[in-house]
Chains A and B, each alone.
Chain A
Amino acid sequence: MKKRGDSAYNMIVVLALICAAAGLALGATYRATRGRIETQQLRERMAALRIVLPEAHKDGFREMSTPKSAFAAESRYYEAYDKALGDASGELVGYALEAEGDGYSSKIRVTVGVDPKGEVIRGIKITFQQETPGLGANCEAIEAEGTLWDAIAEGTLWNAFLRKGKEKTSEPRFQAQFRGKMFDSFVKVGNKYMNIDGLTGATITTNAVADAAVGAVEEFTKRILKYSDGT
């Protein structure tokens, strides 16, 4: 370090210059990546919608929001049609709702698909969780597809590393079991939903997901479906 570097004037100038350079670099990168980040979020949301309502057309989701009331904040939901939105002949095939629950060590966000009458759960997709790996995080665990040695032999190991293709082919078992269950069958006895196979050692996560899904459907039926006369 040079001697002259220690004057107060020098210190302030250098610090200010470093901060300015840092600010510039950050600003430029943010501008460059912002669009991409938004696209990713949109794509993720669309993927979740397609999973919970597979029968809907890929352009058939219309974003809606529940009216604000004294009791609940505005929340987002989607109407899903079997044709693209512009096509007038499209029929309503269901609704997709976004819900959130408190898990064991994190928030859990779930997207739920229901039929137009709110009677059958068409599917759920956990869009965010940071639960304990090995326990709660198993709500997103996919069954192992064969052994490592097969993967090496087939040369698919690198794809697995990049996580390509896997999510598309298989749905986590925990989430798959919600598909097609009647809404009425979600009855809690004590601390347990009788129609759901809980995650081993993670009752809290299991209940958080189910509660969020069931609560969202219940709330939605109460607040929206009741007032719209069977579209």
Chain B
Amino acid sequence: MSFSAIFAILISVIFVNNFVFARFLGLCPYLGVSKDTSSAIGMGMAVIFVMTMASIVTWPLYRYFLSPFGLERVLRTTSFILVIASLVQFIEMLLQKVNPALYKALGIYLPIITTNCAILGVAVLNIDTFFKDGNPLPGSYLGSIVQAFGAGLGFTLAMVLMSSVRERMEMANIPRSLQGVPIAFVTAGLMSMGFLGFSGLVK
């Protein structure tokens, strides 16, 4: 897989098909944790990490276990979500032992990541984009990891943008009914309009 292909995947998944603004994935943590910038960055890092790890694990699982035995229809969803859940648990324990500083930074975000649809979303999306009739396309393993990493970056970008706007909004005079999540959605709508401008950047 050439460098330009990798670059194209990254640009596409960060800007053009941003997980939050174009694909509507991971909205719950996006709104829940974007109240201040530092926690937005923490959550974003945790998502990048888990997404990349998840696709490192789910690709071989699909390629060598599900697809050869014809189980891709029956067990894809179940096995992916279980793998992701155990992976998150495992990462949490590992971080606690190996790198307590990092654990302090990311730890509180890890448990809620299991039910973040962006993680399962990227795992399923990788299978959709990089497999044809159950066979991997050339460069698909690297491609799927790059796509997952980029998706995490795009998510972090969206989180950080949103959190900096929301920090300012704390001070603003907003109608009572729109305070909190509703105004955050309206803001996200305006941002997503901005992101529409990236369409056509990469084919």
Interface residues of A (CB under 8 A from B): 22, 26-27, 30, 37, 100, 102, 104-107, 132, 203-204
Q: Select one of B23, B129, B199 contacting A104, CB under 8 A.
A: B199
**A30–B74 touching, CB < 8 Å:** yes
Q: Select one of B22, B75, B128, B203 contacting A204, CB under 8 A.
A: B203
**A107–B17 touching, CB < 8 Å:** no
Minimum CB–CB distance for A149 against chain B, Å: 31
Which residues of chain B are within 8 angstroms of A22 by Cβ–Cβ distance? 78
Which residues of chain A are within 8 angstroms of B194 by Cβ–Cβ distance? none
Which residues of chain A are within 8 angstroms of B200 by Cβ–Cβ distance? 203-204
**A30–B199 touching, CB < 8 Å:** no
**A27–B74 touching, CB < 8 Å:** yes
B73 within 8 A of A: yes
Count residues of B near A (Cβ-Cβ below 8 Å).
14
Q: How far is the CA of A102 from the CA of B200 in the complex (A)?
A: 13
Q: How far is the CA of A100 from the CA of B182 in the complex (A)?
A: 41
Which residues of chain A are within 8 angstroms of B75 by Cβ–Cβ distance? 26
Q: How far is the CA of A203 from the CA of B23 in the complex (A)?
A: 20
Minimum CB–CB distance for A161 against chain B, Å: 24
Which residues of chain B are within 8 angstroms of A27 by Cβ–Cβ distance? 74
**Which 10 pairs between the two chains have the least Cβ-Cβ distance?**
A30-B74, A26-B74, A105-B17, A204-B203, A204-B200, A203-B200, A30-B73, A102-B203, A105-B22, A22-B78
Please, which residue of chain B has its CB at the minimum distance from the CB of A22?
B78
Minimum CB–CB distance for B70 against chain A, Å: 10
Which residues of chain A are within 8 angstroms of B132 by Cβ–Cβ distance? 100
**A107–B129 touching, CB < 8 Å:** yes
23 contacts between A and B (CB under 8 A): A22-B78, A26-B74, A26-B75, A26-B78, A27-B74, A30-B73, A30-B74, A37-B73, A100-B132, A102-B203, A104-B16, A104-B199, A105-B16, A105-B17, A105-B22, A105-B23, A106-B128, A107-B128, A107-B129, A132-B22, A203-B200, A204-B200, A204-B203
Minimum CB–CB distance for A139 against chain B, Å: 16
Which residues of chain A are within 8 angstroms of B22 by Cβ–Cβ distance? 105, 132
Q: How far is the CA of A102 from the CA of B16 in the complex (A)?
A: 14
List 15 other contacts, CB 8 Å, given A26-B75, A30-B74, A204-B203. A22-B78, A26-B74, A27-B74, A30-B73, A37-B73, A100-B132, A102-B203, A104-B16, A105-B16, A105-B22, A106-B128, A107-B128, A107-B129, A203-B200, A204-B200
Minimum CB–CB distance for B72 against chain A, Å: 11
Q: How far is the CA of A37 from the CA of B72 in the complex (A)?
A: 14
| Contacting residues of chain B (11-27) with chain A, CB-CB under 8 angstroms | 16-17, 22-23
Minimum CB–CB distance for B13 against chain A, Å: 10
Interface string of B37-77 (1 = CB under 8 A from A): 00000000000000000000000000000000000011100
Minimum CB–CB distance for A221 against chain B, Å: 23
